[in-house]
Amino acid sequence: MKSALKLKLLSFFICLLPLSGMAATSTPMAPEVPAKGYILLDFNSGKVLAERNADELLEPASLTKIMTAYVIFREIEAGRINLTDQVMVSEKAWRTGGSRMFIEVGTLVSVEDLLKGMIIQSGNDASVALAEHVSGTTESFAKLMNANAKRLGMTNSHFTNPNGLPDPDLHTTARDLAKVTMALIREFPQYYPWYGTREFTYNDITQPNRNPLLKRDPSADGVKTGHTNAAGYCLVGSAKRDDMRLVSVVMGTTSPNARAQASLALLNYGFRYFESHQLYPANQPIENLRVWFGEQEMLPVGPATDVVATIPRGAYNKLSAHLEKSNEQLKAPIAQGARIGDVVVTLGENEIVRVPLVALQEMPEGGLWRKAKDSVLQMF
């Protein structure tokens, strides 16, 4: 059943943003960039704004290190390792080829320095040292990577090492890389600024961040480049303008400039032609619903997650919303967090957002008097 939420929600919109000059306009097609696979998403809503071959299995090269960092951050959060831990550099880490932060075998390096060396300098040696510190071997760490990938819903990914060096069994997709990138930004805001750091010095060697977006777009603050001969030139980018953040993944381009141009084209398209609004925060009351046979008559309800709408620019005044209750009559007992129905947002005639509506507090059964009273009221 639908509840009369529409006018209340629209009045809330009016408080958020003036409606003048907001007539709906058509949105042009997204640019088709020269890459094997790509995707562009709104970080807040998860809405896909552009994609091509986003589920094709591709080699990630150093984009693998996004997952490596995510796993390390989770280990820190769980208290199993610390940023101040001193890691003994193994010969395997020291000998790892490709991009390096130039750690030396037999020396002690802090987890924090290794993370910065991996994130900013793309150090393959740092990735191996971190993996060995967490799991003992890179093979065991790869199992941890795959477990986290499964938990994040990265159904088309398989990791075999922490740095992305070529392996026939190493693959992922543009969509899966977007998932782990958005999880990293959302779950670890205290560490994400490292991805926007322009340079890092270790062992008296200063190396710049390899991400070209940091120089070409002042709103860009991440994330990671990658390259091998087989993978081509890859780039996961993220930028924030006002309250809107976008994430782009570009894989398999032919040159460093091509991956930068493709990423900028996607990001600029997203910011230019779309806008994003948080309509309701998670677990905040948006309505009080009548409950029968409960200790109280009214139950506060709200969305289980943030209600965020990503819409074409100029279409704001065509938004509307309503509540859909699972049952016409709510009856106690009701547990806190129980799903009551859905918050549904529409743009014109199209549904664009549906978020579970939940009870924000417990509603036990009322006493005999309350039950008798409600039984009589239901008769009329």
Residue finishing a domain among 210, 241, 272: 272
Which domain range does residue 329 map to? 2-20+281-379
CATH code of 298's domain: 2.60.410.10
Structure confidence at residue 2 (pLDDT): 53
Residues belonging to the binding site for substrate are 224
- Please tell me whether residues 92 and 237 are part of one structural domain: yes
**Burial (CB count <10 Å: 0-12, 13-18, 19+), residue 190:** exposed
Residue finishing a domain among 228, 249, 272: 272
Contact 101, 207 (CB under 8 A): yes
Of 45, 62, 135, 238, catalytic: 62
- Please tell me whether residues 353 and 233 are part of one structural domain: no
- Please tell me whether residues 268 and 286 are part of one structural domain: no
Identify whether 341 is part of a domain: yes
- Please tell me whether residues 170 and 47 are part of one structural domain: yes
Residue finishing a domain among 253, 272, 291: 272
Residues belonging to the binding site are 224
Bridge partners of residue 7, in order along the sequence = none
- Please tell me whether residues 195 and 333 are part of one structural domain: no
Q: Is 3 a catalytic residue?
A: no
The rounded distance, in Å, linking the Cα atoms of 232 and 56 is 15
Identify whether 30 is part of a domain: no
Identify whether 28 is part of a domain: no
What SS3 state is found at 252? Answer: strand
* Residues contacting residue 294 through CB under 8 Å, at least 6 positions apart: 331, 332, 333, 334, 363, 364, 365, 366, 370
Q: Is 8 a catalytic residue?
A: no
pLDDT digits (tens, 9 = 90+) for 208-241: 999 999 999 999 999 999 999 999 999 999 999 9
**In the block, residue with structure tokens 């270790």:** 202
Structure confidence at residue 374 (pLDDT): 67
Identify whether 29 is part of a domain: no
Assign 3-class secondary structure to 19-46. Answer: CCCCCCCCCCCCCCCCCCEEEEEECCCC
Of 99, 122, 127, 263, catalytic: 122
pLDDT digits (tens, 9 = 90+) for 308-347: 999 999 898 899 999 999 988 899 999 999 999 999 999 9
Structure confidence at residue 15 (pLDDT): 31
Structure confidence at residue 11 (pLDDT): 34
Of 36, 65, 116, 179, catalytic: 65
CATH code of 81's domain: 3.40.710.10
Bridge partners of residue 237, in order along the sequence = 223, 248
- Please tell me whether residues 253 and 299 are part of one structural domain: no
Identify whether 25 is part of a domain: no
- Please tell me whether residues 259 and 285 are part of one structural domain: no
Q: What is the mean pLDDT of each run of 10 residues along the chain (380 residues)?
A: 43 31 63 97 97 98 98 98 98 97 98 98 98 98 98 98 98 98 98 98 96 98 97 98 97 98 98 96 96 93 97 92 92 96 95 97 88 75
The rounded distance, in Å, linking the Cα atoms of 21 and 270 is 20
The rounded distance, in Å, linking the Cα atoms of 339 and 330 is 11
Q: Is 62 a catalytic residue?
A: yes
- Please tell me whether residues 267 and 334 are part of one structural domain: no
DSSP code per residue over 176-189: HHHHHHHHHHHH-T
Query: In total, how many domains does the chain have?
Result: 2
The rounded distance, in Å, linking the Cα atoms of 258 and 249 is 13
Structure confidence at residue 17 (pLDDT): 29
